[in-house]
Amino acid sequence: MTSEDLARSYLSKAEKRLKVLALLLKEEDYSDVIREAQELVELCVKGMLRAVGIEPPKFHDVGFLLLEHKERFRPIKLKDLRKAARISKRLRKEREFAFYGDIDFIPTEEYSKKDAVQAVEEAKWVVKLAQNIIK
Q: Specify which residues 105 forms β-bridges with.
A: 102
E-assigned strand segments in the chain = none
| pLDDT for position 99 | 92
Which of the four pLDDT bands, split at 50, 70 and 90, describes residue 2?
A: confident
Asked if 45 and 66 touch (Cβ cutoff 8 Å), the reply is yes
Which is more confident, 1 or 130?
130
**Structural domains in the chain plus CATH codes:** 3-133 (1.20.120.330)
What is the average pLDDT value for the chain, to the nearest integer? 96
DSSP state of 105: B
| pLDDT for position 107 | 96
The per-residue pLDDT for range 36-76, each reduced to its tens digit, is: 999 999 999 999 999 999 999 999 899 999 999 999 999 99
| pLDDT for position 135 | 82
pTM of the model: 0.95
CA neighbours closer than 13 Å in the CB half-sphere of residue 24: 23
Average pLDDT over every residue of 82-86:
98
Give the whole-angstrom CA distance, residue 73 versus residue 86.
Answer: 17
Asked if 46 and 57 touch (Cβ cutoff 8 Å), the reply is no
Q: Specify which residues 102 forms β-bridges with.
A: 105
